[in-house]
């Protein structure tokens, strides 16, 4: 990430820019007009534009001012949200400065609740494929060769937060591949399907629209769960730190992981505010929605959406060993459980972190 100081003598000032493998975006000012831009490959450009046009009908979004494209690339220029700045304006900043939930968070969930209730339906959905189904070939099969799968599938036992786990990664990847070969209907809602701390403002405005459209409820929830368990307070900060240079205070809150490779013990306790966020989301969104519909396979969908998130947001091969085990422990706990109700899932999460004083 490049942070460039404002030049008072120039009519064009770049505030920041981020250039990575998958994204090019930033903000700049021309005269009195402050703007936010994204440069995308042509396929993602059309996805973002389509998602934006759907999401804007239900959520508060940035105003799209200009969109241009050629055969290979597209650019989108939005109005800039002046509430966003250095360590302010985004949900990530809320988590950086708070230890308990309050009305700012509750208001964001209320926005989701109204839209979810209004747009709930049973249908085919492919808007989320870029984050899930498409990643089976583009990431899951590409990242994990037989040697890696064997290492974490045979005679590999670890004790995670006091629970014994026998790893069998090969079995899970096989099941994930089978699941995503199906063409099935889901219970869906309108969303942008990537509810990360950097994609939501404190006023409840949605920023990213790449997966915007009719999305499975459990795909949306899967990202929210994994975001709050490990991504927002650990993995993203550690393995994608440049994204947080403009919101650096969250780096001071990074989770501590205790790992003993000799006796294969691993401990991770998420921040209370992160656990509270998941529980509140469950209580206010998931549980009421599931009471309105006949959705017996809700957890089958949830665990397969979470499974892809765990294995394909980051390539586990690039991680420290303790972080590989951390990912796989959560993967196995989620995948080999069969919760009948969301209340059972809620109790499972609470119990997973109940031992607070581990020496």
CA distance 46 to 11: 31
Question: Are β-strands 73-79 and 33-41 bridged in parallel, bridged antiparallel, or unpaired?
Answer: antiparallel
Q: How high is the pLDDT of residue 20?
A: 67
Per the prediction, the chain carries an average pLDDT of: 93
Contact (CB, 8 A) for 92 and 63? no
Contacts of 210 (CB under 8 A, 6+ apart): 44, 47, 48, 51, 130, 192, 194
Question: Which residues partner with 66 through β-bridges?
Answer: 77
pLDDT, tens only, 240-274: 998 898 999 999 999 999 999 999 999 999 999 99
As a whole number of angstroms, the distance between CA 289 and CA 96 comes to 30
- Tokens representing 39? 């440069």
**Do the Cβ atoms of 55 and 161 come closer than 8 Å?**
no
Phi-psi domain of 54 (left: phi exceeds 0; alpha: psi -120 through 50; beta: other)? alpha
Looking at 28-37, 149-158, 250-259, which range is the least confident one? 28-37
pLDDT of 8: 55
pTM reported for the whole predicted model: 0.93
Query: Domain residue spans in the chain?
Result: 2-79, 91-352
Residue recorded with tokens 């992160």:
274
Output the pLDDT for position 132. Answer: 98
Which residues touch 10 (CB under 8 Å, ≥6 apart)? none
Span of 13-22, 26-35, 206-215, 327-336 with lowest mean pLDDT: 13-22
- The Cα–Cα gap between 217 and 121 comes to 10
Q: Which bin fits 14, alpha (ψ -120 to 50), beta or left (φ > 0)?
A: beta
Q: Does domain 2-79 have CATH number 3.90.226.10?
A: no
> What whole-number distance in Å separates Cα of residue 190 and Cα of residue 196?
16
Instruction: Kindly indicate the confidence band of residue 291, based on its pLDDT and cuts at 50, 70 and 90.
Output: very high
Q: Are strands 33-41 and 24-30 parallel, antiparallel or unpaired?
A: antiparallel
Using alpha carbons, select from 253, 251, 234 the residue that is nearest to residue 322: 234
Inform me whether the pLDDT recorded for 359 exceeds 70.
no
């Amino acid at each position: 990430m490049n942070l460039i100081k404002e030049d008072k003598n120039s009519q064009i000032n770049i505030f920041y820019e981020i250039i990575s493998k998958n994204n090019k975006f930033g903000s700049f000012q021309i005269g009195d007009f402050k703007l936010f831009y994204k440069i995308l490959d042509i396929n993602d450009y059309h996805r973002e534009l389509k998602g934006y046009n759907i999401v804007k009908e239900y959520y508060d979004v940035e105003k799209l001012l200009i969109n241009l494209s050629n055969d290979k690339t597209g650019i989108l220029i939005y109005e800039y949200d002046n509430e966003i700045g250095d360590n302010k304006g985004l949900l990530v900043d809320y988590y950086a400065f708070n230890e308990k939930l309050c009305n700012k968070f509750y208001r964001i969930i209320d926005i989701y609740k109204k839209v979810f209730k209004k747009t709930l339906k049973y249908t085919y959905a492919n808007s989320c494929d870029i984050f899930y189904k498409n990643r089976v070939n583009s990431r899951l099969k590409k990242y994990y060769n037989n040697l890696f799968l064997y290492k974490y599938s045979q005679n590999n036992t670890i004790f995670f937060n006091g629970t014994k786990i026998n790893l069998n990664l090969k079995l899970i990847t096989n099941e994930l591949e089978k699941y995503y070969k199906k063409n099935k209907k889901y219970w869906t809602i309108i969303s942008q399907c990537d509810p990360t701390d950097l994609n939501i403002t404190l006023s409840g405005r949605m920023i990213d629209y790449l997966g915007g459209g009719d999305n499975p409820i459990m795909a949306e929830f899967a990202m929210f769960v994994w975001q709050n368990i490990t991504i927002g307070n650990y993995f993203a900060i550690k393995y994608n730190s440049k994204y947080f240079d403009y919101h650096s205070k969250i780096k001071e809150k990074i989770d501590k992981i205790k790992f003993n490779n000799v006796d294969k013990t691993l401990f991770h306790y998420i921040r209370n505010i992160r656990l509270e966020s998941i529980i509140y989301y469950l209580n206010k969104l998931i549980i009421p929605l599931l009471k309105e519909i006949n959705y017996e396979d809700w957890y089958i969908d949830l665990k397969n959406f979470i499974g892809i998130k765990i294995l394909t947001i980051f390539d586990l091969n690039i991680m420290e060993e303790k972080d590989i085990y951390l990912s796989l422990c959560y993967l196995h706990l989620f995948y080999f459980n069969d919760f009948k109700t969301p209340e059972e899932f809620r109790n499972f999460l609470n119990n997973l972190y109940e031992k607070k004083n581990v020496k």
